[in-house]
């Protein structure tokens, strides 16, 4: 699905659960470059909907890291904590339409596979109190073309199951908040790490159930293995706030299949990257990268 009438809007959406590391820099940089190369907008959204996991001061440090790397968002940064009424409204709508239901199961009721078997889909079993809200995914399948990873398809029955959209602690689930806010911010292109590909299936289904347009997706090679990447140990493990911006940017561009020429430093490095950026040059995976040797066509 393409949206010729919709102007390009990309985004970077960090959770304030710690400092940015190399993998996050790769995602921030790639989403920024793809937006700039398309003459589009680049939004930043702080996904602070999980107070128990939030690290104090982390959001401020993330935003200051982005500034230090020359990654300037268009418009105001959106904080998801300001959006709880919107998540609540969508959850109530899905419940009212019978597309979601209350689940009374505890962690102990979920099978070892982690796939919820739909126990409460037809109503709470006797004696159970409502805890979480789940999306009814019965019979659903999704398929889309990822700009880097290729065709992706998923079947919910037996593979993913009915997933939570409001948690048992009554906080909105990550998947729901992302979908509601990608729509709210008119995001047309999502460029992020392949570690989120599993989430994308859930988000694409939610978009369909809610009648929202699906953004284009591009999932970047995971930056995990310092050896496979030929990254220095420090580059692979230290917060980016402690790294030299030119060194870290150069390593990130190499990871993304865009090795910059030696003359490109400082602001010239970013200018070079915007001018030469092409998603088609980004590898799906890196040789020697553990656990991601081949593109996955199924989730």
Sites of contact with Zn ion (CB under 5 A): 103, 105, 119-120
Which C-beta is closer to Zn ion: that of 173 or that of 190?
A: 173
Which C-beta is closer to Zn ion: that of 89 or that of 106?
A: 106
Which C-beta is closer to Zn ion: that of 119 or that of 199?
A: 119
Contacts of 236 (CB under 8 A, 6+ apart): 22, 223, 225, 226, 229
Q: At what angle do helices 245-255 and 22-37 cross, to 10 degrees?
A: 70
Question: Angle CA(201)–CA(176)–CA(37) in degrees, nearest 5?
Answer: 65
Report the nearest approach of Zn ion to the CB of residue 180 (Å): 23
C-beta separation of 218 from 39 below 8 A: no
Which C-beta is closer to Zn ion: that of 39 or that of 114?
A: 114
Q: What three-state secondary structure class fits 126?
A: coil
Report the nearest approach of Zn ion to the CB of residue 136 (Å): 12
The pair of structure tokens assigned to 43 is: 């939004």
Report the nearest approach of Zn ion to the CB of residue 169 (Å): 16
Which C-beta is closer to Zn ion: that of 65 or that of 162?
A: 162
- Alpha helices in 9-83, H assignment, sequence order: 22-37, 58-68
Report the nearest approach of Zn ion to the CB of residue 153 (Å): 26
The pair of structure tokens assigned to 78 is: 């959106």
Report the nearest approach of Zn ion to the CB of residue 100 (Å): 12
Report the nearest approach of Zn ion to the CB of residue 259 (Å): 50
Report the nearest approach of Zn ion to the CB of residue 138 (Å): 14
C-beta separation of 218 from 146 below 8 A: yes
Q: What three-state secondary structure class fits 72?
A: coil
Which C-beta is closer to Zn ion: that of 120 or that of 177?
A: 120
Q: Across-strand partners of 151?
A: 145
Which C-beta is closer to Zn ion: that of 121 or that of 296?
A: 121
What is the H or E stretch that residue 209 is in? helix 197-210
Of 8, 12, 62, 9, nearest in space to 193 by CA: 12
C-beta separation of 33 from 52 below 8 A: no
């Amino acid at each position: 699905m393409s949206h010729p009438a919709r102007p390009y809007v990309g985004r970077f959406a960090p959770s304030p659960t710690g400092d940015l590391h190399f993998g996050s820099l790769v995602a921030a940089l790639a989403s920024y470059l793809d937006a700039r190369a398309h003459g589009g907008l680049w939004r930043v959204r702080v996904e602070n909907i999980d107070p128990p996991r939030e690290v104090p001061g982390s959001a401020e440090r993330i935003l200051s890291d982005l500034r230090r790397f020359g990654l300037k968002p268009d418009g105001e940064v959106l904080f998801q904590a300001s959006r709880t009424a919107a998540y609540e409204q969508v959850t109530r709508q899905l419940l009212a339409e019978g597309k979601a239901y209350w689940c009374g199961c505890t962690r102990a009721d979920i099978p070892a596979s982690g796939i919820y078997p739909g126990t409460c889909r037809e109503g709470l079993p006797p004696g159970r109190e409502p805890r979480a809200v789940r999306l009814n995914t019965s019979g659903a399948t999704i398929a889309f073309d990822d700009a880097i990873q290729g065709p992706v398809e998923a079947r919910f029955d037996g593979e993913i199951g009915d997933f939570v959209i409001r948690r048992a602690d009554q906080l909105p689930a990550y998947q729901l908040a992302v979908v509601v806010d990608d729509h709210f911010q008119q995001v047309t292109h999502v460029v992020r790490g392949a570690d989120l590909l599993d989430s994308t299936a859930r988000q694409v289904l939610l978009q369909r159930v809610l009648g929202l347009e699906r953004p284009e997706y591009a999932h970047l090679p995971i930056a995990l293995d310092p050896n496979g990447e030929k990254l220095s140990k420090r580059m692979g493990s230290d917060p980016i706030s402690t790294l030299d911006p030119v060194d870290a940017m150069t390593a990130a561009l190499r990871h993304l299949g865009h090795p910059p020429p030696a003359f490109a430093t400082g602001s010239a490095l970013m200018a070079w990257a915007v001018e030469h950026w092409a998603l088609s040059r980004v590898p799906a995976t890196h040789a020697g990268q553990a656990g991601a040797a081949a593109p996955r066509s199924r989730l």
